[in-house]
Amino acid sequence: MTAQLTEPTPGTWQADPYADALRTGQGPLYLRRRDGWLLPLEVERWCAEPDAADDTLLARCTGPVLDIGCGPGRLVAALARLGHTALGVDVTPEAVSRTQRAGGSALCRSVFDPLPREGGWGTVLLIDGNIGIGGDPAALLRRAAELTGPGGSLLVEVADSDVDERVEVYVEDGNGGRGASFWWARLGARALDTAARATGWSLYGSWQTAGRHFVQLTR
């Protein structure tokens, strides 16, 4: 099965349910597994200003910051206001447009495509479940290592339970709209630690706030 785990094609996240939700800033929106299990996606939070939990991330950002899967860009825009050089990367044009309208810089590009400052980012972000991109955390962690400069950090939001799964999912809006299926991963802190050590990262710290769980890794 590992050979099938690839990053979602750009068309996956340009499907109407996701793009429409970003356009309006409202859900409902879900990831649905083939067995019917639903994971609610927090569109309203993503499209709002950074909250108290986000502030704990912003405070840990040093140097130029790359936000992988930036979505509508709340973190990129906030970092720019704080004086950071910050760039968001997302495969969804609507996400990139919202980021730019919010005052942030973003590229409509896959994280696995060539990116600016390869090997020179001080902090790389994988927030809002984006450790799941492509359903292959090891590949994503290796790519993040290529992007991060010596001594740089990777900030990852993990699941609040001890989970380690790679599943086929699709985006749906709860009203009959759905996108194409793709592979996704969900990791808790323990599973992330195992995957990180296997790909050359070291655990620097972890914290919880407002029901969200974060881990900081270093090169």
Instruction: In whole angstroms, give the CA distance from residue 138 to residue 121.
Output: 19
Predicted local distance difference test score (pLDDT) of residue 16? 76
Going from N- to C-terminal start, the domains of the chain cover: 2-218
Counting as low any pLDDT under 70, the low residues of the chain are: 1-15
pTM to 2 decimals?
Answer: 0.92
Provide the pLDDT for residue 144.
Answer: 98
The CATH superfamily label for domain 2-218 reads Vaccinia Virus protein VP39 (3.40.50.150)
The pLDDT assigned to 7 comes to 47
Determine phi and psi for 83, rounding to 5 degrees. Answer: 95, 5
Q: What is the pLDDT of residue 219?
A: 87
Q: What is the pLDDT of residue 1?
A: 34
78-93 pLDDT, tens digit per residue, is 999 999 999 999 999 9
